[in-house]
Each structure stands twice: as structure tokens, then as C-alpha cells.
Structure 1
Amino acid sequence: MSDPTPHSLEDLAPLAAQVLDALKSENMMVATAESCTGGLICGALTEIAGSSAAVDRGFVTYSNEAKTELLGVPAALIKKVGAVSKEVAVAMAEGALDRSDADIAVSVTGIAGPGGGTPEKPVGTVHIALARKGSPTDHVHCWFADQGRRSIRLATVHTALISILNAIS
């Protein structure tokens, strides 16, 4: 049995192509709002030729200020619940949907490490949200084993791509 854990962006290419095919077949566009992945979701999708037919834009909102300025996440919300939270992930996805021509938007916010974790939010904590026009925003709370920053980020991209695919199917 092969290891399903992606070890590189190249490992994610078949899944990214599948997501793009699904988006194209439904005549849908996607936007990404990324914090801990720093644009890797959008990068995995745009690595595939023809992605412009399904990718509208990507927001890399690593700082709290970027989340507020680019996506409209209230600064008071970030202060109250923290950037790594369900509420902020949902606000990021909804903000990306509102500020794009996309039909669906995925957001990720988390702690990739090696530092930054707390007992309440250890390294590997990730929140993923998926906003779709006309539907409630979905949320997934993930905890990826702390096997290094790269591993957590790639696992987050993998999970986000699966989330998009599941929302379309």
C-alpha cells in the first residue's frame, strides 16, 4: 500500500488536476485564502496547465493585518478568538468569496511550527473553511501530527483540495 501523505507539491498534482477537472465540469471558479500554507493551495492548482479556467485568485494573508485588510476579517474577532480558529477560518473563506469572482472559496489558518503552539492550540492545529455561494460555510478542524513544518503544510494543502472536491461532488 502506498503512503497517501504528500511529500512534495508534485505528489499533489494528480489531486489538484482532479479538483480542476471537477471545477471545470461544473463551470465553477475557486479562490483561496491562505495563512499557514502561504499560497501552496493556489500554487498546486496553478501548476496544472489550463488552471485559469477554474482558478480566480489566491489571497495570501499570513499576517492578521492582511486577513483584515484583504479579506475583511474583523480585527476584534482575531483578538477575541485568535487567528487560528474556526471563526477566523470561516470569515476568511467568506471574505475571499465576497472579494472575488469565485463560486467557491477555501481558507486555511493554522500552526505549522516548529514554534507557536500552545497547549490549547498545539503545532499541527489547522482550521479549513469552505464557502460556496448559496450554501452554509463548512469547517474542518484538523490536527496533523507534528512531523515538521513541511509535512503539516502539505497535509493542509491535501486536505483543502479534498474539501474542495467533496464540496463539488
Structure 2
Amino acid sequence: MCDDFYSDPGAVREGALLGSPVGDDKAVERIRGLMATGEPAPSDVAVSSYVTLLSAESPAEGVVSPPGSRWTALVWLSLPEHCRGGLSFRRAGTGGVVRETAFIEAKFNRAVVFAAGSGPHVDGPGFGEGPETARLTQWLHLTTNSPESGLELEGHHA
């Protein structure tokens, strides 16, 4: 997890709202710079998407990573005065009861990187009445040139 992920998050947010995304290359560079020495660094973005979720909408259960993805990165781009909720990781327990195993609070310009396919997760809830006030996230699915597992981020921890 890294706060203050983009040096100019406003430009990334504006691009997302206007349908002219920017920042994918910068995101990969930033993630590479945060990875601990010896860990498999991302080499490219397989897929990048921006998701807007309004108050009347429910979050989808997990995001499916495309084949070849090694890491998934989520960056919250909702403005601080609107940002709420967060990313919940879940696991099915005995009797089919689903329980939350981890929760990361949403914060403007906060990035979370986790292993693709690491289990069910939900980013929610939706909020706002229009794109400017809605939950706005950037999802990046990253590939690597290395099959090793494990990721430790260093630098700005929250």
C-alpha cells in the first residue's frame, strides 16, 4: 500500500473523467520503484481500466485478472471529501460463511498492489450522484517476467 502514489493525481483523475486515461506507464514505474529488492517487478500493464461506481450501484465481487497477470493494482481517485469505504478481502469459511480477512481504507491517491487471483475482494460501496462525486478507481493488471511470488512495498506505508 502506498499513499501519494501519483505525483499529479489530479491529471490522472481528470483523464479518467474525460475518457482520456493517463498514467499507466507512470504507475508501472512507481510500482517498480516501490518493490523490495529481489522481488519480481512488473514489466508491463496487461489491462488498465477506470471504474466509476455511483451510490445506487453495488460493487462487483472481485475483479477478474486477465491471463498472464501477476499483480493487480488499485488506485483510488475519488476526491478526499467524497472518498469512503475501501477494499475488502474475503474468504469462505466453514459452512460457506464468508468472512472478511483484511480491509484497506479508501483514500485519494492511495495505491494497493496484490497478487492477481489472491482471492475474492470487493471495492465499495458506491457513492455520489454523478462522475465528479462518485467512487472512481483505476485498476491495473500487471505482468512480470518472473514467476516468483511475494511482494513487499517500501516507502510510503499507510
- The TM-score normalised by the length of structure 1 is 0.32
Q: Greater RCO between the two (CA within 8 Å, min separation 6)? A: 2
Greater share of strand residues, 1 or 2?
2
Greater share of helix residues, 1 or 2?
1
- The TM-score normalised by the length of structure 2 is 0.33
